A and B are shown apart, each in its own frame.
Chain A
Amino acid sequence: MATNNERIPMVDVGTAVIPRERKDQIYEFLSRRRIMIGVTVLPVFLLFVLILAFPILWAVAASFHEIHAFAPDWNWVGLENYTHYLFGDALFRETLLLSVTFAAVSVAVHVIVGTAVALLLNHHFPFKKFVSAVLFLPFLIPTAILAFGVGYMMNSTFGVFNWTLVNLGILESTRGWFGNPDTALYVVAMVNSWKFYALVSIMVYARLQSIPSEHYETAKIMGASAWERFRDVTLPNLKGVLFLVILLDSVWMFFKFDIIWILTQEGPGGSTRISVVYAYEIAFQQTSLGEAAAISVILFTLVAFAAVLYFYVLEPESEVRAE
């Protein structure tokens, strides 16, 4: 009996015709281990080398040289670029502080607003599909278009934002929101948050959707209040995704360039000259590519160090690790 069962054919080979066999041969060939690696991992590896590893190593090499944008010569200067920006240039340290401020304010706003929106969306209410489409939209809107639109709406002469506040009696007169050195950086951070809170919302919302409703029901039967259910069921489930999104968002915001460059450039009195803006000015206005490369390497080292520290101190569950 047992042998009989084993002999039942599992694939119908009778229908095989000649072109089919050739196709099979191709499939067989593609299935070999070396070919499989060559088709799947090798292309992405080569692309990485071409567009990431090579330019980054190039930048590291360039950071030890004096290079001018329109002259092909590289003059070896050793560590001079590094010592200048690490110890000699007070302006660079100021820009670093502005970068950290911008990133910290942005990430805090994104996480708080983004999580709150995700929690609201996790309820049932009418027009939910439309509302969630609207709330997740900003992340897809080009940052430059946001900057153009905001530049229009917050214009000091005819901006609708100003005039609405004036007509409501909140403001005495219209104001130039990006012209005040004390607040320009924060205004830009808020405008930018209009877009990037949605990243946090999307990730948190999707995680909320995957929490089994039984967990809440059990907690309810055990007598947990709404707050206790949030603290003991929702929050622990969000830990992993929040860990990840904070890391990703911090790196993005620390290197944010486009919206700042379009809205304020270096800002009144250099108040929005964060490190990447400073490096861009050095590279393309002072045309000192070697010095800009040194700044990139310094920023890269700082962020990589901070990221490793973040991983090491907080020790996330394996689900957010890359292995």
Chain B
Amino acid sequence: MSTESDDVESTIMDYRGSIPLWRQVSYPRRRLIRRSLLYVGISIITLVILLPVLWIIMSAFRPVGDVITRNPSLIPTSITVDNFVALFTGSRFPIYLRNTVIVTMGVVVLVTTFATLGGYGLTRIDIPFKRVFARGVLFTYMFPPVLLAIPMYILWSEIGMINTHVGLILAISARVLPFALWLMWKFFLNVPYSLEESAQVAGATRFQAFKDVALPIAKPGIISVAILSFAFAWGDYTMALILMTDLDMFVITTGIEASFYSGGQIRWGMVLSGSAVALVPPLLFVYFLQKYYIHGMSAGGAP
């Protein structure tokens, strides 16, 4: 009897030995471990991203003394909007903000319109040298943006476009347009041409087919190109640094650096409140337009 049960026992042991450790754990427990690993991973990465953003915004509401204190307390002792009042009434920041808004709107309108029309034309109309153009577009991407600004600086100064909004709008567009055009191109490839053909069979002109059939379907792509060009224009530093030399034409990024970092002492209260203002549109965009943002950025990789 006892030998028999020993046999059974040893068989079970042998069997168990061949199962990976992970499979020996019961299913509910395995699930629990997997879930907790997932939650821990998600929480850590979320905190790493969220905390710096919160810290910048929170510090902007602290009195200047608290902003540059050694060993800062994590919970603010007092809250004030002094930094923002000083920013908007006692500095050039409103001018910088105005310039940034103008330039950003210009880039978004220009790039979105041109990329949408161009993307449509390139997928629907048979044009000679289409491939050459496409390759050319991609190769312009391999030219360093900082160094693109140098010939632009020379050219723009000769035609009087240095220190103009138009000049900066064109310069930033040069950085976004290749990617935007390429995204719209891929997007229209995914819009079946047969839909437009059937509209044309039903009596619509080619233009109507574009306006009433292709455009509405491509709307998510258009919105995501708009978000992308917004992100480039709103955050631009390099082009503005080189092409805008007059302090009244600076944008928020170069302006914060020029106004609050100069004179040996950094005015952190102003830097932080200015940064907090610059963070508002990205926060709104990512929450309300998340769907388009993700959709658009991936158009290139989707089948």
Which residues of A come within 8 Å of B, CB atoms? 10-11, 24, 27-28, 30-31, 33, 36-37, 39-41, 43-45, 47-48, 50-56, 58-59, 62, 116-117, 120-121, 123, 125, 129, 131-145, 148-150, 152-153, 157-158, 160, 163, 166-167, 194, 199, 202-203, 205-207, 210, 240-241, 244-245, 251, 255, 257-258, 261-262, 276, 279-280, 283-284, 289, 292-293, 295-296, 299-300, 303-304, 307, 319-320, 322-323
Which residues of B lie under 8 Å from residue A144 when comparing CB positions?
Answer: 235, 237, 253-254, 256-257
Chain B interface, DSSP helix/strand/loop, else mixed: helix
Closest 10 CB pairs of A and B: A40-B121, A206-B298, A142-B235, A44-B118, A241-B301, A296-B147, A144-B253, A31-B206, A140-B282, A41-B121
Task: Check A295 against B231 for contact (C-beta < 8 Å).
Answer: no
Out of B135, B147, B154, name the residue touching A299 (CB < 8 Å). Answer: B147
**Binary interface encoding of chain B residues 220-236 relative to chain A, with 1 for a CB under 8 A from any of its CBs, else 0:** 00000001000100111
Task: Check B300 against A244 for contact (C-beta < 8 Å).
Answer: yes
Q: Looking at chain B, what size class is its interface with the partner chain?
A: 35 or more
A41, A54, A129: most-surrounded residue (chain B CB, <10 A)? A41
Name 23 interchain pairs, CB-CB below 8 A, sorted by A: A31-B206, A41-B118, A41-B125, A47-B177, A120-B38, A137-B286, A145-B275, A158-B68, A158-B71, A163-B71, A194-B52, A202-B297, A206-B301, A245-B301, A255-B145, A257-B146, A284-B242, A292-B150, A293-B147, A296-B144, A322-B135, A322-B182, A323-B131
B115: CB under 8 A from chain A? yes
Task: Check A53 against B52 for contact (C-beta < 8 Å).
Answer: no
Out of B140, B207, B231, B301, name the residue touching A53 (CB < 8 Å). Answer: B140
Give the contact stretch, choosing among B3-11, B53-61, B78-86, B87-95: B53-61
Out of B69, B203, B256, name the residue touching A158 (CB < 8 Å). Answer: B69
Q: In the docked arrangement, what's the CA distance between A31 and B290, Å?
A: 35
Task: Check A37 against B177 for contact (C-beta < 8 Å).
Answer: no
Task: Check B278 against A293 for contact (C-beta < 8 Å).
Answer: no
Task: Check B56 against A203 for contact (C-beta < 8 Å).
Answer: no
Q: In the docked arrangement, what's the CA distance between A205 and B291, Å?
A: 12
B191: CB under 8 A from chain A? no
B window 189-221: CB within 8 A of A: 201-203, 205-208
B105: CB under 8 A from chain A? no
Q: In the docked arrangement, what's the CA distance between A206 and B121, Å?
A: 26
Task: Check A136 against B137 for contact (C-beta < 8 Å).
Answer: no
Q: In the docked arrangement, what's the CA distance between A48 and B173, Å?
A: 10
B25: CB under 8 A from chain A? no
Task: Check A207 against B301 for contact (C-beta < 8 Å).
Answer: yes
B15: CB under 8 A from chain A? no
**Binary interface encoding of chain B residues 138-169 relative to chain A, with 1 for a CB under 8 A from any of its CBs, else 0:** 11111111111011101100000000000000
Contacts A141-B282, A251-B141, A293-B147 given; indicate if A125 touches B155 (C-beta within 8 A). Answer: no
Q: In the docked arrangement, what's the CA distance between A181 and B4, Å?
A: 72
Q: From residue A9, how far is it (CB to closest CB) to chain B in Å?
A: 10
Q: From residue B85, how far is it (CB to closest CB) to chain A in Å?
A: 20
Q: In the docked arrangement, what's the CA distance between A319 and B186, Å?
A: 9
**Binary interface encoding of chain B residues 32-50 relative to chain A, with 1 for a CB under 8 A from any of its CBs, else 0:** 0000001101100110111
Task: Check B118 against A143 for contact (C-beta < 8 Å).
Answer: no
